C-alpha cells in the first residue's frame, strides 16, 4: 500500500487544489491590480495531459478531493474535459470529489455540461449585493451575471453551492447580515473570509482587517449562533443559526488559524507544488514532467514539497513575509 501524503508533523494530505489558469475575467482589488498584470507565459502552463497526470499520481497516493481554481478556472477552454478526465480517476478510496472555485460569470453556459462531466460542487465568490460596490471591487459591472451564475449552479444540481465573501472594513462590512440573509433564504452556504495578505500590491494591513469576532458579532445581532462540532480539516468554522438547519461559515485564517489540521496542497497553473497558501518556496513538478520523469518521480516531488511544510503560516509573526505570488497566480 502507498504511504500517505504526510508532512513532518503527521498531517495527512487529502485535498489538492489545482490552478487551471492565472487569468481572470474580474480584477478584484484585494487580488489583482487594475492592469499591468504579469501573466504566466503560455508555454509555462501545464497542458491538460500534464494536469491530469499529476492529479492521477496524487489521487493514487491518497488525495480524495480535487479543487479546480485560478485565476478563473472557467476561462480554460477545455475545462469541461479537464473535469471529465479528473472525475474518472481512481484511488485507494475510490473516485475523488471534484469541486471548483469560480466567479460564476460563465456558469449559465457551463454549469450543466460540468455536472454531466462529473463536477460535484462549486464555491462562488460574492463580496457584495450592491451593483455600485461590485463595480468598485471587481472593476467590472457584472453583478447581475454573477447572480445568474449562482442561479445556474442551483438549477444544475450542484450541491452544496457555497458562497465566499471576503469582508473588508469600510467596503462591505455593513453587508454581513444582508449577505447572510441572501444565502440562507436560497439554501446556499455562505462562508465569510478574513482578508489575507495575498494581494498583488502587498498593501494588506493587519490593523484594518475585519476579524472573525467582528463578523460573529454582526451575525449574533440577528441570529443565535451555535458552533457545529466535527470541523475536521474544514477551513471554515461552521455556525448553526437559530437552532438550524441553516449554517454560516467563517474562515479566520489570520486570527484563528487552523494550520494544525490542514490537509491541503496546491499545484499552480505553471506546475509548481506548494505546501501552503503562504509558502515562499515551491517544488517544480513541471520540470519533472518535461524531462521524462516517471510517475514515481512525480510522486517523490510532491512528497519532497510536503517535507518542507511548516507548522503554521506565522502571519502574526513580526518576521512574516507575504508570498511573492498573488492569489491569482497561486490558486485558491
Q: Is 133 annotated in some ligand binding site?
A: no
Q: Is 215 annotated in some ligand binding site?
A: no
Q: Is 259 annotated in some ligand binding site?
A: yes
Q: Is 21 annotated in some ligand binding site?
A: no
Q: Is 62 annotated in some ligand binding site?
A: no
Question: For strand 161-167 and strand 121-125, is the pairing parallel, antiparallel, or unpaired?
Answer: parallel
DSSP string, 65-94: EEEEESS-GGGSTTHHHHHHHHHT--BTTB
Q: Is 106 annotated in some ligand binding site?
A: no
Q: Is 262 annotated in some ligand binding site?
A: yes
Question: What is the rounded distance in angstroms from the CA atom of residue 86 to the CA atom of residue 95?
Answer: 9
Helices and strands (H, E) in the chain, number of each type = 10, 12
Contact present, 266 and 277 (Cβ < 8 Å)? yes
Question: What is the rounded distance in angstroms from the CA atom of residue 71 to the CA atom of residue 55?
Answer: 19
Q: Is 30 annotated in some ligand binding site?
A: yes
Q: Is 125 annotated in some ligand binding site?
A: yes
Task: List the one residue out of 180, 177, 148, 139 whose CA is nearest residue 163.
Answer: 180
Q: Is 121 annotated in some ligand binding site?
A: no
Q: Is 206 annotated in some ligand binding site?
A: no
Q: Is 305 annotated in some ligand binding site?
A: no
Beta partners for residue 106, in sequence order: none
| Binding residue positions for S-adenosyl-L-methionine | 30, 71, 125, 196
| Binding residue positions for GTP | 17, 67, 101, 162, 264-266
| Binding residue positions for [4Fe-4S] cluster | 24, 28, 31, 259, 262, 276
| Binding residue positions | 17, 24, 28, 30-31, 67, 71, 101, 125, 162, 196, 259, 262, 264-266, 276
Amino acid at each position: 500500500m502507498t504511504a500517505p501524503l504526510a508532512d513532518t508533523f503527521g498531517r495527512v494530505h487529502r485535498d489538492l487544489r489545482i490552478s487551471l489558469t492565472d487569468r481572470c475575467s474580474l480584477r478584484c482589488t484585494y487580488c489583482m491590480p487594475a492592469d499591468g498584470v504579469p501573466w504566466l507565459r503560455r508555454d509555462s502552463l501545464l497542458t491538460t495531459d500534464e494536469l491530469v497526470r499529476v492529479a492521477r499520481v496524487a489521487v493514487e497516493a491518497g488525495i480524495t478531493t480535487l479543487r479546480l481554481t485560478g485565476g478563473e478556472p472557467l476561462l480554460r477552454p477545455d475545462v469541461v474535459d479537464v473535469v471529465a478526465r479528473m472525475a474518472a480517476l481512481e484511488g485507494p478510496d475510490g473516485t475523488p470529489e471534484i469541486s471548483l472555485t469560480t466567479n460564476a460569470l460563465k456558469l449559465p453556459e457551463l454549469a450543466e455540461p460540468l455536472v454531466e462531466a462529473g463536477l460535484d460542487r462549486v464555491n462562488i465568490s460574492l463580496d457584495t449585493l450592491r451593483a455600485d460596490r461590485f463595480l468598485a471591487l471587481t472593476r467590472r459591472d457584472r453583478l447581475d451575471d454573477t447572480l445568474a451564475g449562482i442561479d445556474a449552479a442551483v438549477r444544475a444540481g450542484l450541491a452544496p453551492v457555497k458562497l465566499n465573501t471576503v469582508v473588508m472594513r469600510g467596503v462591505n462590512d455593513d453587508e454581513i447580515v444582508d449577505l447572510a440573509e441572501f444565502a440562507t433564504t436560497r439554501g446556499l452556504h455562505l462562508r465569510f473570509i478574513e482578508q489575507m495578505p495575498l494581494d498583488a500590491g502587498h498593501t494588506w494591513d493587519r490593523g484594518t482587517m475585519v476579524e472573525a469576532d467582528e463578523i460573529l458579532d454582526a451575525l449574533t445581532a440577528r441570529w443565535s449562533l451555535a458552533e457545529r462540532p466535527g470541523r475536521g480539516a474544514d477551513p471554515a468554522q461552521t455556525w448553526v443559526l437559530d437552532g438550524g438547519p441553516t449554517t454560516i461559515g467563517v474562515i479566520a485564517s489570520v486570527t484563528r488559524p487552523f494550520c494544525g489540521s490542514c490537509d491541503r496542497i496546491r499545484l499552480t497553473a505553471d506546475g509548481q507544488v506548494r505546501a501552503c497558501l503562504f509558502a515562499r518556496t515551491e517544488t517544480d513538478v513541471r520540470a519533472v514532467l518535461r524531462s521524462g520523469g516517471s510517475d514515481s518521480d512525480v510522486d517523490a516531488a510532491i512528497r519532497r514539497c510536503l517535507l518542507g511544510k511548516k507548522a503554521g503560516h506565522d502571519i502574526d509573526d513580526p518576521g512574516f513575509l507575504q508570498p511573492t505570488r498573488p492569489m491569482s497566480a497561486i490558486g485558491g
